[in-house]
Structures are given as structure tokens and as C-alpha cells.
Structure 1
Amino acid sequence: MAGRVRTIAVLDAPSNLGLRPPEDGVVPGCGKAPGVLRDAGLVTALDAVDAGVVTPGRYRPDWTPGTVRNEAAIAEHSLRLAARLDRIADRGELPLVLGGDCSILVGIGAHLRGRGRFGLVSFDGLDYRHPGNSDAVGAAGGESLALTTGRGGMLAELGGTRPYVRPADTVALGVRPDDEYLADAVDAGLRVITSTGVAADPVGAAEEALRTVDGPELAGFWVHVDADVLDPDVMPAVDSPEAGGLTFDQLVAALGHLAVSPRLVGVDVTIYDPDREPDPDFRHGRLLADLLVSALAEAGRAPAER
């Protein structure tokens, strides 16, 4: 049944741990994203509460082939993130997690798995690289959806069980039609709607996603938003810009349709990097904050299902 109106709780997870260095000796800039979004007035505009920050461990650029970069630090950060999200959920608030890179999805997945069976809607370039389809694994940010749905090493089973979210309960929206891992994701049971499909009918794509993640057997669903789902013509300041993405209006329409569901249990946003493409006035960060406000403002006024 519908309950009280939800309060959005903004939580920072400024991790770079799942990314390769953009160049030798340089730390990725995604850890700056939460600060930029906050400086743009996001918390006030959403009438949200400040849930603080889960600080990641030290980023180490060195990497040994055959290993996952910063794996132990990601695991430790993920468990602390999951515990913080548990406390937010226990208060009946709706978390909005500001990343950081997509490795934060591991902690989000661990949080969801610990509370039951949930769905996941992922607006992203896919991030489905894993040892079964690539010999180039090693950066968890590019493997986050695979890890969350049970593919990969120890990061896929924090707490001793996998998957955090079942492939059949997962929808990937905005994937480029030529993504090299798309066929493997579909074969594994994920529902994939490409960027072409979302662009043609954003609300229809969101409705299709809801048919997967809004069933009575699920306790609710989480939405992951990677800024590189947007086309680099409108959002170049991301870790991995790729042509063929969505426009702001298309993403707002699809995300906004999902956000008003009382079954939504949380949202995260990742991969905005003000250092990747020069963004000296943080213009693209402000645009991303405006996008989130436009899409999520109604989420804070929608009744929670309890």
C-alpha cells in the first residue's frame, strides 16, 4: 500500500577505484563529481537531506595483468557503502548516491541482495566485460553490471552469495547497438533496450523496463545512471565518451517515468569526470545536476510503498 511521501537522501560515494588511470601518473577525476553536483545546488533543489559521504580507500594506479585494479579497496568501500544504504533504507528515505565510478554498483548490489530480491534498471554503455568474454578485465568500473549480476571474481560475491541482482531482473537501457558484449548480456538473460530504442520512445522504453523490474516477486528496483549513456555531443565530460548516446531530454523522460514509481528504492549517478574533457566552469556538471532535478523531483513527492 502507498505510505508517506519519501525524503530523498543524497549520499556521496566519490570512488575512482574502478578506473584505469587516464594517463600515466594521473588519477581519474570522477571522484570530484559529487562536489560539483552539490555545488550546483542539487541537494537544495531536490529538497533532500544530506546523508554524508562514504570515503573510498586510496587509489593505486599500479596494476598486475590478471588481477582487478584496487580490488581489496573496492570490496572494503562496497561493504561500507552497503551498510550506509541499509541505514538510509531503514529510515524510509530514498537514497540518491553520487559517484564516483561504476564500481559503486557493487556496494549497491550488496545492499540490495542483503534485503531481498530486487530489480535493476541500468542506463549505461553496458559495462558487461567479465572473464568469460574478455581477457582485458581488470577495471571494475567497466565490469560493474557483470559483477552485479554474478559474473567475475570475489567482487561479485561479497557476503558469500551471487548474484546481487538476477540477470532476469535486470534491464540495460541506452546500450549502443554495436556494443561488443551486448549479445553475451542477452544470452545471460538481461533485457537490453538499445540507445536507438530508447531515443525512439523514452517513456515506452521505461514502461518496458517496468514490466521486468516491477513484478510482485520483487521487493522493488534500483536505477543506475552512468553519464556516458548520454551522447558526447551533450555530455563529453565522462570517463568513456561514445557516440550514439541519448540526449538530455530523452534521458529525463525515461528516468522521470521510472522515478515516480513507489517501487523505486534508490538511484545512483556515476562517471561524470570534469577532468576528462576540460570543463573548467563545470558547465556539464551543472547540466547533469539540472537533469537529475528534472527527472527526480517527482520521486520525492511520490508515496513510498511500505
Structure 2
Amino acid sequence: MNNHLSIIGVPMDLGQMRRGVDMGPSAIRYAGMIERLEQLNYVIEDLGDIEIPRPKSNKESKLDNLRNLNEIAEGTTRLAEKVDEVVEKGSFPLVLGGDHSIAMGTLAGLAKHYDNLGVIWYDAHGDLNTADSSPSGNIHGMPLAVSLGIGHEKLTSIHGDEPKIKPENIVIIGARSLDEGERVLIEEKGIKVYTMHEVDRMGMPTVMDESIEYLRGRTDGVHLSLDLDGLDPNEAPGVGTPVLGGLSYRESHLAMEMLYQSNMLTSAEFVEVNPILDERNKTATVAVGLMGSLFGESLK
């Protein structure tokens, strides 16, 4: 794995309705992320936080059933440009959220550099909604659909009009809360999904072996987008949309260890850490622990 890491914080809280997730990047840094990765002999460049525009008034900004559409489009465009720059100079982008709407910007910035970018979407949710299918209008439930070129033009055109990823290059792991429109899209596009049923039945080693093998044969780079709500709320309480019955701390460490051993990862992001909802920064500490495993921490 590339030993030059560029950290990009994205204090975005506009993609959902619960305040506090904009403090996620600070919470992750406070939990010792940089020190942990430096101990693994990585060269760390912390680029600070992307400036996120704020709505011009305290009234809810909603356009075409999409909450804070203009501000999110502007903020994720800035992120896309920064990620593009980081990859261009040969560094590994490690993005800290913020809510999961930021993935639109991350993937848009990465897409300029890959013909077949693979994505591991480690999440309780599919994030495949559109303005028509979303019950809430929250854009943090839409970034995977947007990156496929499905959704509002202001979002699908971030850092380029073309789709950023292909459905056959996606693996969703840990899903246990899918809206009906998402189920339809998954079936229609043939997206590979390992729900918690599959994880329980097959075991995490098999799920990861299959995911790695599936992506290795068809991609020229792989991005990990890890939503902390993929873990069970008992393990990661500080998230905005917790869903019971999630992945365990140990399963998640194993998944990260196997990704490191695969030597195929080219970028990563950790999102939805909300310190206001957390218990003594537990969720940020979990995120940092998972980063340790992802970047090669070992007892050997």
C-alpha cells in the first residue's frame, strides 16, 4: 500500500438532519489517528478540513425534495478537486467525515484516475436512494446512486458529467436497512450485496475473500467507503442512523486486515462519526482502531 497518506477532513452535516457529525473529523484526529498511522511508518500529510458552505438562513433549504442541495453540491465539488489533486501527486487519500454525502465528492475526484474504480461500501444502508425514492430527502442516503449517474443533475455532474463508477464494480457489505427503491435498483443493476444474513451465514472471512476476488479481476483501483453505522450500535453508538444487528468490532477488524493483505486498496474514507451522539469518543476511537488494521497493524 502507498505509504504516503493525505488526510482530508470534511465537516459536512448537511446531508441529514442530526447535528454534530460535522465534528467527526476533529473527533477522529483527537482519538489519535495520526499518531497511530505514524507508528506504522506512514508519511502523513494532514491537509486540514474542506470549507463547507452553510445555508444562508436558519430555515430548511430544500430544493426538488433534496435537503441542502446547493450547499452539498458546492462542498462535495471542493472535496472532489482536493482528492483529484492528492491522487495526481501520488498520495493515498484518506477522507474523514462528516456524513456519507461526502462520498459523492470522494468518488468524483477518484474517478478521473481510474477506468474501473472498485468500491467497497461498508454500511448498514445501501445509500442508493434518489429524490423520488427517498422517504426523507436526506442526501446522505443517495451518494452511491449519484456516483452511478442516477439522481439530480447538480449532484451527478460533480467534477464531471459522466458516471463515476459502474454497478458491477461495487460490493456492499453489512446492509440491513434497504428502502424499497434501493432494492429495486440493486436488482436492476446487478449490484453485489452481502447483507447481515450473508455475513452471519457465510462468516466474514468468506465474505471478504469473495469480495476481494470479485473486485481484483475487474478493477484498476479500489476505494473503501466505511460508514461507522455498519457496525452494531453497541460497538459504535455515535452515529446518526443506528441499526441494530450490525457488524461486530472483531469482524470489522478482520475485514480491514484482509483488505490490507490484499494490497488492492487505493483510497479510503471513514464517515458518520457524530461525537454529540457518542459515548466518550468511543466511535471515533473505533474508527481509528479500524484504520490501524486497514493500514497494517499486527500483533506479529
Can you give the 5+ residue segments of structure 2 that lack an aligned partner in the other structure?
39-43
CA contact (8 A) 1:30 1:272 kept: yes
Q: Which amino acid aligns with 2:164?
A: Y
| Cα distance in structure 2, aligned partners of 1:203 and 1:95 | 26
CA contact (8 A) 1:170 1:191 kept: yes
Question: Hey, what does 2:222 align to over in structure 1?
Answer: 221
Q: Alpha carbons of 1:244 and 1:84: their partners in 2 closer, same or farther (altered >3 Å)?
A: same
1:211 aligns with 2:213: yes
Q: Alpha carbons of 1:128 and 1:184: their partners in 2 closer, same or farther (altered >3 Å)?
A: same
What is the CA deviation profile of residues 156-197 of structure 1, one whole-angstrom value per residue up to 9, with x for unaligned ones? 232452321111111111001765433432322211011232
CA contact (8 A) 1:8 1:46 kept: no
| Cα distance in structure 2, aligned partners of 1:61 and 1:43 | 37
Shift of 1:295: 2.9
CA contact (8 A) 2:77 2:105 kept: yes
Shift of 1:8: 2.1
Question: Hey, what does 2:100 align to over in structure 1?
Answer: 102
Question: Hey, what does 1:126 align to over in structure 2?
Answer: 126
Question: Hey, what does 2:75 align to over in structure 1?
Answer: 77
Give TM-score, length-normalised by structure 2: 0.87
CA contact (8 A) 1:260 1:298 kept: no
2:26 alignment partner, one of 16, 28, 35: 35
1:10 alignment partner, one of 7, 10, 14: 7
Q: Which amino acid aligns with 2:35?
A: T
What is the CA deviation profile of residues 248-275 of structure 1, one whole-angstrom value per residue up to 9, with x for unaligned ones? 1111111221233333110001111122
Question: Hey, what does 2:91 align to over in structure 1?
Answer: 93
Name whichever of 164-173 and 261-270 sits farther off. Answer: 261-270
Name whichever of 189-198 and 96-105 sits farther off. Answer: 189-198
CA contact (8 A) 1:222 1:264 kept: yes
Shift of 1:106: 0.7
Question: Hey, what does 1:168 align to over in structure 2?
Answer: 168
Give TM-score, length-normalised by structure 1: 0.85
Question: Hey, what does 1:303 align to over in structure 2?
Answer: none
Q: What aligned pairs does 1:266-305 form with structure 2 within 5 A after superposition?
A: 266-276=267-277, 278-279=278-279, 281-297=280-296
| Cα distance in structure 1, aligned partners of 2:59 and 2:183 | 29
The alignment yields a C-alpha RMSD, in angstroms, of: 2.3
Question: Hey, what does 2:41 align to over in structure 1?
Answer: none
1:46 aligns with 2:37: yes
Give percent identity, aligned residues only: 28
Any idea what SS the aligned residue of 1:17 has?
Answer: coil
Q: Alpha carbons of 1:176 and 1:183: their partners in 2 closer, same or farther (altered >3 Å)?
A: farther
Shift of 1:282: 1.6
CA contact (8 A) 1:206 1:255 kept: no
| Cα distance in structure 1, aligned partners of 2:273 and 2:187 | 27
Question: Hey, what does 2:139 align to over in structure 1?
Answer: 140
Q: Which amino acid aligns with 2:15?
A: G
Q: Alpha carbons of 1:65 and 1:9: their partners in 2 closer, same or farther (altered >3 Å)?
A: closer
Q: Which amino acid aligns with 1:204?
A: T
Can you give the 5+ residue segments of structure 1 that lack an aligned partner in the other structure?
23-27, 300-306
